[in-house]
Amino acid sequence: MTNKAITVENITKRFGGFTAVDGISFGIERGEIFGFLGANGAGKTTVMRMLCGLSKPTSGSGMVAGFDMMTETESIKRSIGYMSQKFSLYADLTVRENLRLFGAIYGLRGRAIAVRTVKMLRELGFYAERNTMVKDLPLGWQQKLAFSTAIFHSPEIVFLDEPTGGVDPLTRRQFWELIYKAADSGITVFVTTHYMDEAEYCDRVSIMVDGRIEALDTPSNLKRQYNAASMDDVFQRLAQTAKRNDTI
Amino acid sequence: MITAEDLHKNYGGTEALKGVGFKVNRGEIFGIIGPDGGGKTTLFRILATLTGADSGRASIGGLDVVRDFGQIRRMIGYMPGRFSLYPDLTVEENLNFYAMVFGTAVADNYNLVRDIYGQIEPFRKRRAGALSGGMKQKLALSCALIHRPKVLMLDEPTTGVDPVSRREFWQMLKKLKEQGMTILVSTPCMDEATLCDRIALMQNGGILSIDTPEKMVAAYPEKLYAARSGNNYRLLETLKARNDIKMCYISGESLRVIFRTEETPKMEGMEIRRMEATVEDCFIYLMQQ
């Protein structure tokens, strides 16, 4: 049993004549928090879709949660969780109904769902709100709940697609504490974000430019390597070399 | 140039603004910094004469936002948070439309928008709805500027915009300021605070603090330390359990710690160093007071 949650070797994805992802390779350790950065149009979404089993690479090979990206996409889907800020929970369902729905979709039994629901809501301090509709919760609570729902079925890997915009700094930190806690329990966390200060919370970070991974290291090493004060400076340095831009 | 005095606004049972007041000087970039749901948009809508406050007063260039709303609308450029151009009109048609509504022509004020509009002009025949996020922002800013306003009000202009476009956007604001424009801008993003001349930190309908970013940071009342170890989560749990710690939270690659005691405790595997507070640290501190 390898200790890698994700390994990707020389993956390429073409759409007609356009090479969206151009032969990338990387590995992510189990329990690692991995930040996946890139300007609009760099190919982030395409990579994320392939890692989630929603599309297959044109060429190359890779394993996600122990399953083959080419042939076992259905098993991959069952082994991962996904959260995005734009859509994660049903606003017109209550907290409990959302958990029941997502738990059932991932094949948990009624009793397991009930037990986990109580445990999770108590840990979050949300138990009193279990019958509140999600749309009536503050944004910060919705984000914490969305993350907890994404790991409700104990996935190997959780994908977070721009998870924490717009909340106050304390709530954001509580959110990151949940992420750290999940990683500490062995869940691998794959995060995309446009906020470079958020990238500094990750164990390692990769930066995509024009379909390739141009940099991959810990935030401190990247800052040292590019002689930059912040991840934003590192990012700007690399993004300037892009030939594609977001007008495509 | 902009004054707000004790503004209150309720929606149903919710207090969106609980007595907000500040002054913005001519030719200044003034940032309203705070999370979503804090009252930023309500404040902008009152200043842009789109809704009335329940109580309190506000004026732009000496004109009252209620009594003189017609005059104010001609002198401000307002860019709402949600993309509000016409998606079925082309880039060019949108700009012409806004110029016409304000009784001017694109050619008259072209020099003001040239830097910004020039970047999207190659796509002038494209429908606005088909533009990327960064390009939409540039078009929206061009449309807000085309009647040469004296005051620019930008509600979360960089939300959802990638870091490269975001940096470009702030560079444009700086240029506009140099041309004498007064700019009120809001953002939930704490690291954009330092790009403003002065900032107001806003939370739950009230203002926590108003100052220049430099003075705000210098006024941070505690000794702040950065601590890190091989496993910051475990370190956080350990530190939280101690009673000589006043405050402790994660922040990027290290934890921020405030001690109750003068000397810092030594712990195996923990690196610790003194550090200056950021605007975000100030926000967190003020939220807890």
Please give the Cα distance from B20 to B30 (Å, whole number). 15
For residue A10, give how far its alpha carbon lies from the nearest alpha carbon of chain B (Å).
26
How many Å lie between the alpha carbon of B61 and the closest alpha carbon of chain A?
A: 31
Q: Which of B135, B188, B288 sits opposite A166 (nearest CB)?
A: B188
How close is the nearest chain B Cα to the Cα of A178, in Å? 10
Q: What is the model's pTM?
A: 0.88
* B142-162 average pLDDT score: 92
Nearest alpha carbon to residue B172 among B98, B132, B114: B114
Sort out which chain A residues have CB atoms less than 8 A from B234's CB and list them. Answer: 184
Q: Which of A139, A166, A247 sits opposite B135 (nearest CB)?
A: A247
Residues A180, B236: C-beta atoms closer than 8 Å: yes
CA distances from B168 to A248, B164, B179 (A): 18, 6, 17
Strand bridging mode A212-217 / A188-192: unpaired
Give the separation between CA B199 and CA B175, rounded to whole angstroms. 19
The two tokens of residue A91 are 């606003």
* Distance from the B189 Cα atom to the nearest Cα atom in chain A, whole angstroms: 7
Residue B216: pLDDT above 60? yes
Q: What is the DSSP letter of A237?
A: H
User: CA of B236: which chain A residue's CA is closest?
Assistant: A177
8 Å CB contact between A26 and A213: yes
Gap between the Cα atoms of B173 and B187, Å rounded: 14
Give every CB contact of residue A95 below 8 A, 6+ residues apart in sequence: A121, A126, A129, A130, A131, A132, A134, A137, A145
pLDDT tens per residue, range A95-113: 999 999 999 999 999 999 9
Contact with chain A for residue B160, Cβ under 8 A: yes
Considering only the beta carbons, identify the residue of A40, A168, A239 that sits closest to B132: A40
Section B42-57 average pLDDT: 96
Residue from the list A140, A195, A218 with its beta carbon closest to the beta carbon of B189: A195
Percent of chain A with pLDDT over 90: 77
ipTM: 0.83
**Alpha-carbon gap, residue B210 to B129, rounded angstroms:** 37
Query: Is residue A246 over pLDDT 90?
Result: no
Q: What is the pLDDT of residue B250?
A: 93
CA distance linking residue B167 with residue A54, whole number of Å: 33
Query: Is B35 in contact with A168 (Cβ distance < 8 A)?
Result: yes
The sign of the CA dihedral A245, A228, A166, A105 is positive
Total residues found in chain B within this entry:
289
CA distance B58 to chain A (A): 26
- Of B60, B85, B274, the C-alpha closest to B149 is B60
The nearest CA of chain A is from the CA of B81 a distance in Å of: 12
Q: Spell out which residues of chain A touch residue B233, defining contact as CB-CB under 8 Å.
A: 177, 180-181, 183-184
CB contact under 8 A, B236 and A197: no
pLDDT at position A248 is 39
pLDDT at A2 > cutoff 80: no
**Is-contact B106 B146, C-beta < 8 A?**
yes
Please tell me the distance from the alpha carbon of residue A66 to that of residue A126, in angstroms, as a whole number.
34
CATH architecture of the domain formed by B220-288: 2-Layer Sandwich (3.30)
C-alpha Rg value of chain A to the nearest Å: 18
Task: Judge whether B162 is closer than 8 Å to chain A, CB to CB.
Answer: yes
Chain B residues lying within 8 Å of A201, measured CB to CB:
250, 252-253
Helices assigned H by DSSP within B76-183? 91-101, 110-120, 133-145, 163-178
The answer to whether the Cβ–Cβ distance between B253 and A219 falls below 8 Å is yes
- pLDDT category of residue A165 using cuts at 50, 70 and 90: confident
Q: Is A246 close to B135, i.e. CB distance below 8 A? A: yes
Tell me, yes or no, if B231 comes closer than 8 A to chain A by beta carbon. Answer: yes
Cβ atoms of B32 and B186 closer than 8 Å: yes
* pLDDT for B264: 78
Of A140, A180, A220, the CB nearest to B250: A180
Q: Do A246 and B132 touch (CB under 8 A)?
A: yes
Q: Homologous superfamily of B2-216 in CATH?
A: P-loop containing nucleotide triphosphate hydrolases (3.40.50.300)
**Å between A220 CA and nearest CA of chain B:** 8
Q: Which residue of A has its CA nearest to B280?
A: A169
Between chains, do B134 and A246 touch, taking CB under 8 Å as contact? yes
The residue extents of the domains of chain A are: 4-239
Q: What is the pLDDT of residue A247?
A: 46
Dmax over Cα atoms in chain A, in whole Å? 54
Question: For the ranges A32-36, A135-139, A177-181, B222-226, which has the lowest average pLDDT?
Answer: A135-139
| B38 at interface of A, judged by CB pairs closer than 8 A | yes
Helix axes B163-178, B133-145, angle to 10 degrees: 20
Q: What backbone phi and psi angles, to 5 degrees, belong to A60? A: 100, -175
CB proximity B234 to A under 8 Å: yes
Considering only CB atoms, A200 lies closest to which of B163, B165, B253, namely B253
Topology of the domain covering A4-239: Rossmann fold (3.40.50)
DSSP letter at B194 equals G
CA quadruple B209, B178, B45, B100: dihedral, nearest 10: 180
Q: Which residues pair with A34 in a beta bridge?
A: A190, A204
With contact defined as beta carbons under 8 Å apart, do B155 and B40 qualify? yes
Residue type (1 letter), A101: L
User: Which residue matches tokens 């700086």?
Assistant: B174
Task: Enumerate the residues of chain A whose CB falls inside 8 A of the CB of residue B250.
Answer: 173, 176-177, 180, 201
Instruction: Please report which confidence band the pLDDT of residue B243 belongs to, taking 50, 70 and 90 as the band edges.
Output: confident
C-alpha distances out from residue B62 to A166, B41, B66, B198, Å: 33, 22, 12, 20
- The band of B82, judged by pLDDT with boundaries at 50, 70 and 90, is confident
Closest CA to B76 of B177, B4, B8, B148: B148
| Span B179-207, pLDDT tens digits | 999 999 999 999 899 999 999 999 999 99
